[in-house]
Amino acid sequence: MDFSITEQQRELQKAIIEFAQKELNQDVILRDKQSTFPLDLWQKCAQMDLMALPFPEKYGGCGMDFFTTVLSIEALASSCKDAGLVHAIITQLVSGLLLNLFGNEEQKTKYLIPVARGQKIAAQAVTEAEAGSDVFSLRTRAERRNGTYAIEGSKIFISNGSIANFVFVLALTNPAKKTLGSHSFFIVEKGQKGFDSGKPIEKMGLRTLQNSELVFDGCIIPAANLVGKEGQGAVIFHEIMEWERILFGACHVGTMMRITEAGVNQARKRRQFGQPIGKFQSISEKIARMKMSGELARLMVYKAAVLKDERKRAALEASIIKVFAGESLKEACMDALQIHGAFGYMTEAEVERDLRDSVASTIYSGTSEINTLIIARLLGL
């Protein structure tokens, strides 16, 4: 595999970094405190084509490969301090990928174009109160009725849920089946009768990311809103999880690079006992581990991105990324706080926010425990 980064890709990364540092980092502390989503900054990101990168030009995209998209998300996360905004953009990208891979021409024309241009916000509604990682236990149902589907049930913790213009809902369509063939994906638009998005859920971290409950109570949608084929839901879900976990891995790599750089600067600047604290082995080892973890995670992310560009499966690689990058990010953020000492515990240092945001990295898109189990099963255990 060739992980060489072209001059064009480096220029794109540089442009994204400069854009994020100039436009996206003002008032992050206040937005975090108030748990507000920066819609104005979302629109600026759309103007930078951050949501359009991997999609065909005919659908409003930039026509770039997935490896370039991954490089762009890494650059964004390395320079944007609002992790909630970065996660919202990844959710938008994953929604668009789902549609681009499995939607029909009419659906792409109607929905993918505004997704790529950032004119409409999208979300995937999968998780339920008693079924997150156990997809086959989802209870939300979609019953076919004379050219329509009636959806009943609820979803929880849905990223972009309260601000989405439409959502991709995974629902049970064949209760008789217990595994593959039992579920399907549907597009449900905001304002549809019987569909209600709850208020944003207050969270420990990623506070600007809007997560909410979605309720479907007698929600009738056209049969044309079925994505792919009926019963294809599990196949779509497992495929799209690969893309999502790789994108989040790129996000984690970017964040680790940012906090490693901040840690190095702090270790050089802060002095104790007559010398920079970086001269103490206990500090230098923490920074070295942060750097090693970031570089190793980056290689896995790049490998998986190339596999997806070659239209190959990357289930094993995606789960390894999810576990290693997520756990490494959380550990790195904890070490970063220790390096900054008491100042790192203070809100103004912006280190404690990174730590709070990082905790969820071992939970969303499949917990570390579930992804470890997936890795074992893919090894034949």
Write out the catalytic residue numbers: 244
DSSP string spanning 265-283? HHHHH-EETTEEGGGSHHH
Residue 4 region, left (φ>0) first, then alpha (ψ -120 to 50), else beta? Answer: beta
DSSP code of residue 98: H
Q: Is the Cβ–Cβ distance between 82 and 210 less than 8 Å? A: no
**Residue type at 183 in one-letter notation:** H
Rounded to 10 degrees, the C-alpha dihedral 274/277/279/284 comes to 170
Two tokens, residue 76: 């964004």
Question: 3-class DSSP state for residue 328?
Answer: helix
Question: CA angle, corner 365, sides to 296 and 38, nearest 5?
Answer: 95
Residue-by-residue DSSP string for 324-374: HHHHHHHHHHHHHHHHHHHHHTSGGGTHHHHHHHHHGGGTTTS-HHHHHHH
Q: How many CB atoms lie within 10 A of CB 11?
A: 10
The pair of structure tokens assigned to 191 is: 């304002």
Distance, in Å, from the CA atom of 272 to the CA atom of 35, rounded to the nearest integer, reads 37
Amino acid identity of 287?
I
CA 313 – CA 321 distance, rounded (Å): 14
* Residue 323 to residue 329: CA distance in whole angstroms: 10
Rounded Cα distance between 314 and 317, Å, is 5
**DSSP per residue over 168-205, as a string?**
EEEEES-TT-SSTTSEEEEEEETT-TTEEE-PPPP-SS
Q: Do residues 192 and 150 make contact, with C-beta atoms less than 8 angstroms apart?
A: no
Cα 11–chain centre separation: 24
